[in-house]
Amino acid sequence: MSKYLLDKFLYLIDRDPELVERYREDPQGTVTWWEAERANAVLNCHSGEASTWLRFTDEERTALATHDHVKLFELGAHPFLTLTLFIAMFERDHAEPLAYQLAFAARLQHFEMPYPDIAT
């Protein structure tokens, strides 16, 4: 389990408008590139510094590469990060206000309390 890395991906894609579009259009390629080139960057340090050990599990990588927000919820990705990024990518495809947010919720209806643990 690397919930932290799932969250780091969602967080860093969400804050970059170009990456939001790239992830929307090419999720598989963006996840592959990001894991190879960005996953180990130590934030708030100069570009020469990096960690050496961060990688997704196969299940996590597939969930991200298929835009599977239900699986991300199950894996304990932070729901605020998932929601924010997925609204940015897909709300535009829905004509009615809140239609995407409500469909997002409907796809999670089978989860009961307690929800998957989001502690990192």
Partner 1 sequence: MATVVAVIASTHHPFFYKASTATGADRPPFADEWVSKITAFRETLTRANPDVLVMVGSDHFHQLWLDNMPQFLVGKAPFYDANWYNEEREFGMPKMLLKGHEELSAHILREGIDRNFDLAFSNELRIDHSITCPIITLRPEADLPIVPIYTNIFAPPMPRPKRFVDLGEAIREIVESWPSHLRVAIIGTGHLSLELGGPRQFGPHGPDPEFDLRAVDWIANGDIESCLAEVTLDSLHAPGNATHGFMDFMLMMGVAGAGAKADHVDSLDLFHTREAYFTWYPNGVNA
Residues sharing a CB contact under 8 Å with residue 62, sequence separation 6 or more, in sequence order: 68, 71
Stretch that binds partner 1, among 22-30, 31-39, 57-65, 101-109 (CB under 8 A): 101-109
Tokens of 120: 């990192």
- Residue 97 CB, nearest distance to partner 1 (Å)? 8
- Other residues' Cβ atoms within 10 Å of the Cβ of residue 53: 8
Site string for partner 1, 40-79 (x = CB under 8 A): --xxx----------------------------x----xx
User: Closest CB to partner 1 among 33 and 111?
Assistant: 111
Question: From the CB of 98, what's the least distance to partner 1, in Å?
Answer: 5
In three-state secondary structure terms, 69 is helix
Q: How far apart are CA 43 and CA 49, in angstroms?
A: 9
Tokens of 54: 């961060």
Distance in Å from the first CA to the final CA of the chain: 10
Give the nearest distance from C-beta 115 to partner 1 in angstroms: 6
Residue 14 lies near partner 1 (rule: CB under 8 A) = yes
Closer to partner 1 by CB, 37 or 97: give it: 97
